[in-house]
Amino acid sequence: MSTPILNHLRQRGFIPETRSNRPLSAIKLNTGTLEGGALVSLVFLPDSATPHYALRVARHPAQGEGLLANYTALEALRGVSKLQQTVPKPVARDEFEGVPFTLETCLDGSPLAIEIALADAEGDQARVAKMVEDVCDWLWKLHSSTGTGEITPFMPTFADATRRLQRRGVLTLQETHSLLNHLTPLLAQPIPQVRSHNDMHPNNLLYRADGTVGVVDWERSAPDSPLRDLFTLFTTAWLFPPDRIVPAETRYAELWRGKTQVSRTFLVALSRYTLDGPIYQRVDFRRAFCAYLVHAAVGILETGESYAEERLPALCRLLLMEAQ
């Protein structure tokens, strides 16, 4: 499908760099495990060794919502000067033979998931901390530039999510009550909203030698608390780092003590959001992280049995640690 779409793009003049009839080429990325996600191809211009564009194609016409959400987020961020060169630029949104597709510029960099896995395997926690710190710096630029002026509760659906874990037999009735008693005070703590990426997984981050990052896959982006991005980052990059199973309870406890390089990075990142200003977060951070983990547990439960078998027991132990 990518070849006829590329020809369509050229004919419509969406790719002005091609001044001859020489064909464009594309390499499809392996995103088949993402059910319902787009088919993504990297597009190369003639005689180019690096990709210039990313082509996203809906797997079938009914799956255009994610494409539109990603493209709309990129359009909203186009004017944020602090994020230039770190977020893809939207180029075209169209459909071919009834199948929706979008085209955006391609970012350079090494996948952060790979960089963290290599550093973690070598025990180089200083490098892990530096990479995570650079991502936190980028997040601050995103959040401080996109405050919406709105204030809403932090994850008001945590009660339903907690009971869902109980119905699936992940938590006992007593454990559920303990968690809900611990988290209920969050409902009285309003949270300023920003433009959130909402999927800050290392697979969606590109790391560069100069310490800058590129951030892709914006289809889940929406107004939200900046804490969701921070908590997702530290959950996926530190508590459950790519390609490794580690003692998550120990690492979670370390986050709040400031005795390791990564935990100091975490606490410094949180402290930015306690400063007076339009996105000042008036919230109990530990309870907020616990509420986030409830939703993460539900997400893991829905991902598949093998993944849940690996991650869910440790994550639930973290929840119960907080509720004690």
- 141 phi/psi in degrees, rounded to 5: -65, -45
Cα 316 from Cα 249, distance rounded (Å): 10
Instruction: Indicate if 216 and 72 belong to the same structural domain.
Output: no
Instruction: Indicate if 99 and 120 belong to the same structural domain.
Output: no
- pLDDT means per 10 residues, the chain with 324 residues, are 76 69 60 61 82 86 84 95 95 88 92 93 93 98 95 90 93 95 90 95 94 94 95 94 82 93 96 92 93 93 78 91 89
Instruction: Indicate if 125 and 97 belong to the same structural domain.
Output: no
| Residue 82: other Cβ atoms inside 10 A | 13
Give the CATH number, domain containing residue 12. 3.30.200.20
Domain boundary among 63, 86, 105: 105
Instruction: Indicate if 175 and 220 belong to the same structural domain.
Output: yes
- The pairing of strands 151-153 and 190-192 is antiparallel
Instruction: Identify the CA nearest to 9 among candidates 105, 99, 98, 95.
Output: 95
Instruction: Indicate if 98 and 115 belong to the same structural domain.
Output: no
Instruction: Indicate if 299 and 165 belong to the same structural domain.
Output: yes
pLDDT for position 265: 97
Strand (E) or helix (H) holding 11: helix 2-12
Residue 281 contacts residue 139 (beta carbons within 8 Å):
no
Cα 179 from Cα 319, distance rounded (Å): 7
Instruction: Indicate if 15 and 64 belong to the same structural domain.
Output: yes
Query: Which token pair is 252?
Result: 């979670």
pLDDT for position 316: 92
Q: Residue 31 sits in which domain range?
A: 2-105
Residue 130 contacts residue 260 (beta carbons within 8 Å):
no
Q: What is the number of structural domains in the chain? A: 2
Cα 248 from Cα 139, distance rounded (Å): 24
Q: What is the three-state SS of 236-263? A: HHHHCCCCCCCCHHHHHHHHCCCCCHHH
Instruction: Indicate if 85 and 122 belong to the same structural domain.
Output: no
Domain boundary among 105, 139, 154: 105
Give the CATH number, domain containing residue 129. 3.90.1200.10
Instruction: Indicate if 8 and 144 belong to the same structural domain.
Output: no
Instruction: Indicate if 128 and 96 belong to the same structural domain.
Output: no
| CA angle (298, 301, 305) in 5-degree steps | 175
Residue 230 contacts residue 269 (beta carbons within 8 Å):
yes
Instruction: Indicate if 32 and 125 belong to the same structural domain.
Output: no
Query: Which token pair is 183?
Result: 């988290």
pLDDT for position 244: 75
Instruction: Indicate if 89 and 114 belong to the same structural domain.
Output: no
Domain boundary among 105, 137, 170: 105
Instruction: Identify the CA nearest to 226 among candidates 151, 156, 160.
Output: 151
pLDDT for position 32: 46
Q: Is the pTM of this model over 0.75?
A: yes
Cα 175 from Cα 168, distance rounded (Å): 13
Residue 17 contacts residue 45 (beta carbons within 8 Å):
yes
